Structure 1
Amino acid sequence: MKNFLLLGVVLVLLSACSSKKSMISNSFNEQLSSNLYKNQFTGVLILDAITKDTIYDHNSHKYFIPASNTKIFTLFASLKILPKQIPALKYVESNDSLYFEGTGDPSFLHPYLKDSTAFKFLQKHNNVVYSSGNFEDKKYGPGWAWDDYQWYYSPEKNNLPINGNVVMVTPSNKIKVTPAYFKDSVLELATKNNRNEFSNTFFYGTQSNDTVEIPFITSNHTTTAILANLLSKNVSLTNKMPLGKKQTLYGMASDSLFKRMMHESDNFIAEQLLLVAGSVLKDTLNSKIIRTYILEKELNSLKQEPRWVDGSGLSRYNLFTPQNMIAVLDKLYSLIPKERLFTIFPAGGVSGTLKNRYVGDKQPYIYAKSGSLSNNYCLSGYLLTKSGKTLIFSFMNNHYRTSTLEVRTRMEQMLQKLRDTY
């Protein structure tokens, strides 16, 4: 008798689950067959985080330009390789000199992270020699738009970033320039450009009331000169560290960088984190090494091989499927506690790029990473249903000509339906 009762309960639960999936499927199919989606590409995959049951699937095996959804892969790589504290510098003390090299750590005097660990360390030494030879990457990622050179979201990459590799110009009685090394390079001039394309000459409108961030052209000599100005001492330059075991100086908590990358969709931090991972794994700053390692060693079971070319998603060369996204999100869900994971992702209606979208009734129901380029908008992450379920979802929209606002609004309606139904 007990077995029959148990069987009856199971059948009722399965029937209820099937009914909910059917309701969601009908609702989503109706939306995706509307005129809005006729001239664009859309892929959706929704998975139950616990049972691994597929709730909905639409074009999930097809490739899409992910934009900043790429940062989900960068986060996974960083969590797999980086220690709890970011390696800030590597160094060797030889005779009376301190030889040091960058690890790619983006937090060194970063305008928002404001980590001064490495700076204070260098201040304590009289003779410092900067070694630049461990950077084996390019300053821009493959397929980045050349005309983004002057905008805050596209700083150059290097092995020892300073101030996020941007010049901050702040209005006051007399404009404030950070790093101060560039104070004579900022011209008060009303122009549509922020910087000369080929030199570190910056422009700031005389009537502007906003602080602007302008990427500067990096070079080994520029880095050395900025450091010398900051430290008020001579900084020598070499391309090779002396013989001897390198020591590592550790800086701020890695999670602080992960949160900044995910909440603010910080492209610079994303790119630099892959370089830091290269420093840890191979003692070489090259993001391709890390991307290849992660795909071959940690994600070799992906059903479709991604095309992963940078850390931030600035490149349209990146190609990922919704199945790719779900697989990595599922691994993240298993890798770290949910409470920690959800603090790293933006929360709908509360934080980061989702602060004004996907608002819950009393608490967030969406923890996800958005990604946008012109004519592309993606959202992938975790959804909490009213029944207490945790779902993993990836929603990718490419090549639409309507407004992003309309695409986001439709997607929000569908995710609310998912929250309320399942």
Structure 2
Amino acid sequence: MGVSLTDVATGQQLFGLNDDRYFTPASTMKLFSLYAGLRLLPDSLPSLHYVVRPDSLVFWGTGDPTLLHGDVPSARALTFLQNRPEKLFYAEVPTVAAFGPGWSWDDYNYYFQPERGAFPVYGHTVRFYGKAGQPLPRVYPRFFRPLTELAPAGAANPAEDHVRRTPLENRFTVFPTTKNWVDETPFRTSSALLLQLLQDTLRRPVLPTPFRLRPQDAVYTLRGLPVDSLYRRMLRVSDNFLAEQLLLMCSSSLRLDSLNTARAIQVVQQRYLQGLPDHPTWVDGSGLSRLNLVTPRTLTALLLRLHQEVEEPRLLSLLAAGGGQGTLRRRYRPVAGKPWLWGKTGTLTNNHNLVGYVRTKSGRLLAFSFLNNNLPGDDAPVRAEMERILTQVRERL
């Protein structure tokens, strides 16, 4: 266990326990991704880059994940491409591998680990809507309906999943239940599949082309959703895909010809995060990787920087509020109708962490990091004890 507690107004550390030791931070690393976005992105997301030539429009991805996304949807790029009079050509830019370093390969089937990419559509997941008594669910996008089949009678389903995808191809097996259900399953990405999905959606041809910028090309950027709509969803419900794509967009803002997570991380650390108490090992945007390492006092120092650089009402509105929404909706209930804790959880098997801000009874705002690693079995007792301690912090300070 590692704990760090600091007064936001004065910067005075009030308590530290193992706060200089490195921990697996899990999804608390999304606060680093937030900081990267705040530093490198404008007020609206870059949806795509494009150049216009005499009879053609060549476009390529920025990493923006919102095109036809199920939870943070944007139709801006869709409308733009549908209405252009030129022929459409998609240029594939160099980008990162589909999975990040240190990710668990056998989580490929689960909604929280979609593949990364330069030009995502549908959040790189297929949504299934099952109804009791109907063997096959409704499938969105419909493109994947012919690739969905019912499991044979008596087929083993040890994980009790509604849907299983074969590891190396887009074939989905449905296990029927007696209840209504909704499930998301990532699909395998490829350039060929992206072109098929774009053509089906746009209802017009989209042709591949090599990525080659000419000296005379003027590069334009189509702007999309306000950045806070992505930050809020990413932090409140701990959306891994949005966090990964956020770092790719940050990379796109640095160079137009490649998307590279490591490059974005390097720039943010060298330009903006010098002077942290301990240098973090930061390898992905979401915290899915167990290669990430950070100390409690460094996370608290990041919270102080965020508070200094972002207006407090905006900053707190981006985080999950205790008893309100997201990953904290069932704990840290408001007092007299007002929230008193805002934070970011971080959970992997055998690890549970919470970092954020506490408004005390006396009105002070405190930044805290509370990290718990290597927990055997159920983490419910640890969650309960954290809530008891942080409630005492609120009451006594």
TM-score by length of 1: 0.88
Partner of 2:234: 261
Deviation at 1:116, TM superposition (A): 0.7
What do you get for the CA RMSD once the two structures are aligned?
Answer: 1.3
Deviation at 1:136, TM superposition (A): 2.4
Say which of 40, 46, 51 aligns to 2:5.
Answer: 46
SS class of match (1:194): strand
206-215 or 160-169, which moves further after superposition? 206-215
Partner of 1:246: 219
Deviation at 1:242, TM superposition (A): 4.3
Counterparts of 1:314 and 1:356 in 2: how far apart (Å)? 23
SS class of match (2:164): coil
Higher helix share: 1
Deviation at 1:402, TM superposition (A): 4.4
Partner of 2:160: none
Deviation at 1:188, TM superposition (A): 2.2
Counterparts of 2:189 and 2:210 in 1: how far apart (Å)? 16
SS class of match (2:369): strand
TM alignment of 1:141-160, pairs within 5 A: 141-160=100-119
TM alignment of 1:19-418, pairs within 5 A: 42-126=1-85, 127-133=87-93, 135-171=94-130, 175-189=137-151, 192=157, 194-207=164-177, 209-243=180-214, 244-283=217-256, 284-362=258-336, 363-418=338-393
Cα pair 1:99 1:241 within 8 Å, conserved: no
Residue-by-residue CA offset, 1:18-76 (whole Å, 9 max, x unaligned): xxxxxxxxxxxxxxxxxxxxxxxx10000000011111111111000000001011111
Give unpaired runs (5+ residues) of structure 1. 1-41
Deviation at 1:176, TM superposition (A): 2.3
SS class of match (1:150): coil
Deviation at 1:125, TM superposition (A): 2.5
Deviation at 1:241, TM superposition (A): 4.2
SS class of match (1:45): strand
Cα pair 2:95 2:117 within 8 Å, conserved: no
Counterparts of 1:338 and 1:240 in 2: how far apart (Å)? 42
TM-score by length of 2: 0.93
Counterparts of 1:226 and 1:181 in 2: how far apart (Å)? 8
Counterparts of 2:210 and 2:25 in 1: how far apart (Å)? 37
Residue-by-residue CA offset, 1:108-137 (whole Å, 9 max, x unaligned): 11011121110111111352111112x321
Residue-by-residue CA offset, 1:367-406 (whole Å, 9 max, x unaligned): 0000001110110010000000000000000001142110
SS class of match (2:320): coil
SS class of match (1:60): coil
SS class of match (2:276): coil
Partner of 1:11: none
276-285 or 139-148, which moves further after superposition? 276-285
Counterparts of 1:78 and 1:270 in 2: how far apart (Å)? 10
Give the AA of the match of 1:279.
S
Report the CA distance shift for 1:314/1:68 in structure 2 as closer, same or farther (over 3 A): same
Counterparts of 1:317 and 1:167 in 2: how far apart (Å)? 29
Counterparts of 1:298 and 1:151 in 2: how far apart (Å)? 34
Partner of 1:12: none
SS class of match (2:74): coil
Cα pair 2:277 2:301 within 8 Å, conserved: no
Counterparts of 2:12 and 2:279 in 1: how far apart (Å)? 23
Cα pair 1:195 1:214 within 8 Å, conserved: yes
* Aligned residue pairs, count: 380
Counterparts of 1:176 and 1:132 in 2: how far apart (Å)? 31
